[in-house]
A and B are shown apart, each in its own frame.
Chain A
Amino acid sequence: MRFVFKTRYDQDIALARHCGDRFWYSLLMLALVAAPWLLPEYWLAQLSFVFIYAIVAVGLMLLAGFTGQFSIGHAAFMGIGAYAEAYLAARGWPLAASLACAMALAAAAGVVVGLPALRVKGMYLAIATLSFGFIVEEALARWESVTGGNAGKSVPAPQVFGYALDSTESFYFLCLVCVVGSTLVVLNLLRAPTGRAFVAIRDSEVSAQSMGIQLARYKSLSFAISAALAGLGGALYGHKMQFISPEQFSLVQSIDLVLMVVIGGLGSIHGAFFGAIFLIGMPQLISLGKDYLPAAIGQATGLQSVVYGAVLIAFVMLEPMGLYGRWLKVRTWLELYPFYRRGMFKRQKSFQKSERLK
């Protein structure tokens, strides 16, 4: 186990806690940059999907995991970003401008959705976002002059300084740049006063307010940033799929996004990435495992959703901290071997906390 000896206050908020962190993350970056030369094209495409979902997950994590505001309509922001990008890219806008525009539009929508958050919380907010998701999906399907309606819309390859990023490798690098950039932005935000305000709001709105945090401002800000990242993810998603239609941004997608952050582990940026890997990797695993199952089970259409449901229930019941919590335990076990105790991460007995106001 490593004990960090702090000699400067800056170390408290440094992104990397010690040189081990720096070493491993540099190694990871090196591996990701080298990936196009090492991995076959199919896996590269899957990795791009992981990055795209990770961007959305980081945004949703900021909102749900760090500000405590749940959104079951996040696919709507993805949809807004994707359609804005498709519309602008078809008009020949350069990538940077159209991405910025898509993010701004999604952020504006996020502020609008955040408005109910100023008055309601908990389940009411979840249902408000759910309603918003439905309305956006229906609007995308009906506004045919811009979105092409239910027939869908094809998305051209992104243009950067006159070059079309139409190969798997070049698009992979675009996704890599976006995911690293947005993660750094969010990490920086979280160690700044704004991020601390978000966490304070999550832990107790009343005490945050009495510390002088303007709830309305920070909640709207959190919604805006989260929606902008979802819009960025959606724009890249559109380019990757090359074809978008309203049902790709339906409630099922929203639930998948929430599932991603919950299984990854709420309240950690690592969790967002673990969740994205889970969401993309799980269908692959299921299709690999299908061959070993009897045909009646293996070929059934409902298998995937049964497995998703079972995994979700198992995580909530057995590992509420998600994949990241499990990773923490494994790491601690390795670091402390052979002194790990079973109860180290055991939370104190929690009685049923009432969110009903007295």
Chain B
Amino acid sequence: MLVLQIIVAGIAQGCVYGLIALGFVLIYKATETVNFAQGDLMMLGAFAGLAGMSVLGWPFWLAALAAVAVMALAGMLIERAVIRPVLGQPQFSIVMLTFGLGYIARGGVTMVPGIGTDTHALAVPYKGSTLDLGAVVVGGEQMVIIGATAALCGGLWLLFRYTRVGIAMQASSQNQLAAYYMGIPVQRLNGLVWALAAAAATVAGLLLAPITFVHANMGFIGLKAFPAAIVGGFGSLPGAIVGGLIIGVVESLSGFFLPEGFKDVMPYVVVLLMLAIKPTGLFGDRARKKV
């Protein structure tokens, strides 16, 4: 039953990857940009939650909601201030821009005196509680991660399926120019997409914080969300979550069965295999240029 236990841990970890990958995919679909600062947005979100709890003394749930709201606003501001002026430039310059954002976020947090360079534990109310399911014991943190991810995915599905904003987002991600001609405010939607991505990253950060602690370099875990996004197919929202779960489970299984050192490398081996076999990912669209 140890294997089952490991798989559950992998699923919980995979949910976090999936949430970060969700942010990549949202932004990629809207602006065709890969946001390398997504992990750093997650870090900022975790720090925002930490600030709410320790500086303002709010309870966890209030601090978490406030952090999500603040980070959504920050995401919208980033889009307005930095991303919108450079749209239309080659894809890679925009990627470089997000590298720059990541640098500033990481450096900026370390520059905050007293807080930035230390690691902090986020005191969540469900810490340490467990649920005994007979065969496996599920930790409270893992349960909350899986539950919150499922809820967030459900919410996003409803958003994209039934609301006007969601349908407008789908339209503009399929063909921006056509959507613009139909009267959809594409630029404002892009801002909203960045807000959504930042909010998803914050949720991931708050969920991850009880397991790994909050520190300035926790954003580097976002780099493992790239394999998740690729395995799922870069343009697919369900793919991001499925890819995240696959990467999480592969990682924790290889940490158990394979020699030391393979755990951190396996996600990248999986993504290289995926790119060699099926570059569009599990759920990606088949793309071929017709001349």
Contacts and interface: CB of A to CB of B under 8 A. Distances in A.
A123 B109 CA distance: 28
Interface in A324-358: 350-358
Interface string B57-93: 0000000000000000000000000100111110111
Contacts, number: 156
Interface stretch (A51-59, A169-177, A297-305): A297-305
Contacts of B102: 309
Interface majority SS (helix, strand, loop, mixed), chain B: helix
A255 B110 CA distance: 19
B275 A300 contact: no
B226 A119 contact: no
Which of B92, B100, B105 lies at the interface centre, i.e. has the most chain A CB atoms within 10 A of its CB? B100
B273 to A, nearest CB: 10
Contact of A306 (B89, B99, B103, B276): B103
B217 to A, nearest CB: 10
Contact of B276 (A64, A115, A142): A115
A355 B287 CA distance: 11
A300 B272 CA distance: 38
Interface stretch (A28-36, A92-100, A126-134): A126-134
Interface stretch (A37-45, A155-163, A311-319): A311-319
B32 A354 contact: yes
Nearest to A314: B100
A317 B85 contact: yes
Contact of B234 (A123, A128, A134, A353): A123
Contacts of A309: 99-105, 107
Given A127-B226, A355-B32, A306 B275 contact: no
Contact of B100 (A115, A310, A354, A357): A310
Nearest to A352: B88
Contacts of B288: 357
B279 A300 contact: no
B100 A120 contact: no
B209 interface: no
B213 interface: no
Interface string B263-291: 01100110110011001000000011111
Interface residues of A, number: 55
Nearest to B270: A131
Contacts of A60: none
A243 interface: no
Interface residues of B, number: 54
A353 B88 contact: yes
B230 interface: yes
Given A127-B226, A128-B272, A302 B264 contact: no
Contacts of B116: 300, 302
A302 B91 contact: no
A124 interface: yes
Interface string A249-266: 001000100110010000
B96 A134 contact: no
A316 B97 contact: yes
B125 interface: no
A308 interface: yes
B95 A300 contact: no
A305 B106 contact: yes
A127 B230 contact: yes
Given A123-B234, A128-B272, A309-B103, A262 B96 contact: yes
Contacts of B268: 130-132, 134-135
B117 interface: yes
B32 A306 contact: no
A124 B32 contact: no
A142 B104 contact: no
Interface string A282-305: 000000000000001100111111
Given A127-B275, A131-B272, 19 more contacts: A115-B276, A122-B91, A124-B234, A135-B265, A138-B264, A138-B265, A262-B93, A300-B113, A302-B106, A303-B107, A304-B107, A305-B110, A306-B111, A309-B101, A309-B103, A310-B104, A313-B97, A350-B88, A350-B89
Interface of A: 64, 70, 115-116, 119-120, 122-124, 126-128, 130-132, 134-135, 138, 141-142, 206, 210, 251, 255, 258-259, 262, 296-297, 300-313, 316-317, 320, 350-358
Interface of B: 28, 32, 34, 82, 85-89, 91-97, 99-111, 113, 116-117, 176, 216, 223, 226-227, 230, 234, 261, 264-265, 268-269, 271-272, 275-276, 279, 287-291
Which 10 A-B pairs rank lowest in CB-CB distance, beginning with the nearest? A309-B103, A302-B110, A302-B107, A305-B107, A312-B100, A131-B268, A309-B104, A306-B107, A300-B111, A313-B100
